[in-house]
Amino acid sequence: MRLAEKHPHRSTTFLEVARTFDRLAHQVDVTEGSESWRLLFLNAAECYAVPPDHSQAARAFLNARKHTDAAYHYRMAGMFDAAVGILRAHTIDTELAESITYAAKFVFTTEENVTSLHKAWKLCSSKEDYIEFLQDNGFEKQRIMFLDSVAEHEEAAQALWEARDYLSAVLRFRRSAKESSKQKAARCLLEGMRENVFFVTSYGNPSDVLIQLFNLSQDVDLSADERTQVRSSPRICYLLTEKRLGRIF
């Protein structure tokens, strides 16, 4: 048990002492960067660490040039940008550096925006390593977002296809510059139409996806045989007619 937990009233005392050392370190008669300046911040940091006030302790340890301690307290405060910044700029304890890197990848990834995903990517040895990390840890939404952000549209489309999001998958395949994406877009579209026809006819479930895929088929590069499959399927023609008439959807 920490001292502050045994004696909660002492937390206030330690914080007051920490602020006093902090204030002294910022006084004009103490030369910035001097040994006296560093020691004042070190004393402040050690007092901040007792309650603990992790963010203030980290800042003071950083001024005291205690980089491992600063990185540790930034990590404990959840301030991963600052923690990562320290381990990139300074040599710190190897085990702590690995712990910060591992935790930061998860934290940045869960923020679900491209900027944060790229921060997490930079903590990996390669783009492929980060994609594997996303896949292994079930970050499917983030994996698709990341793949799109680095113009890996075919891979993003494949992930959507596997998730049976046929409409989004076809649209992603069409954004890809890879020649193979044209054939995959066609196969994905046909599979999506067949599946939606099955669910509508078997269970009577409404599906706007079917007509959206049908409309998209006009722009997808289908072979003559594939286009015939779309246009001549009795079920598809019937369901599209019923959709337009509003009878079964």
Residue 185 lies in a domain: yes
Residue 91 lies in a domain: no
Checking if the pLDDT of 56 tops 50, the result is yes
pLDDT (0 to 100) of residue 83: 98
pLDDT (0 to 100) of residue 199: 56
pLDDT (0 to 100) of residue 236: 58
pLDDT digits (tens, 9 = 90+) for 69-103: 999 999 999 999 999 999 999 999 999 999 999 99
Distance CA 13, CA 83 (A): 27
Other C-beta atoms lying within 10 Å of the C-beta of residue 219: 11
Looking up tokens 């402040």 gives 44
Residue 214 lies in a domain: yes
pLDDT (0 to 100) of residue 247: 42
Checking if the pLDDT of 150 tops 60, the result is yes
Give the mean pLDDT of the chain: 84
Q: By mean pLDDT, which of 61-65, 142-146, 156-160, 202-206 is the weakest?
A: 202-206
pLDDT (0 to 100) of residue 197: 75
Residue 68 lies in a domain: no
Domain containing 223 equals 164-249
Number of domains forming the structure of the chain = 1
Amino acid symbol at 138? G
pLDDT digits (tens, 9 = 90+) for 215-234: 887 777 777 677 766 665 54
- pTM (predicted TM-score): 0.75
Residue 168 lies in a domain: yes
* CA-CA-CA-CA dihedral for 187, 193, 199, 200, to nearest 10: -170
Residue 241 lies in a domain: yes
CB 10 within 8 A of CB 3: yes
Checking if the pLDDT of 129 tops 50, the result is yes
Residue 187 lies in a domain: yes
- Residue 196 pLDDT grade (very low, low, confident, very high; cuts 50, 70, 90): confident
Residue 31 lies in a domain: no
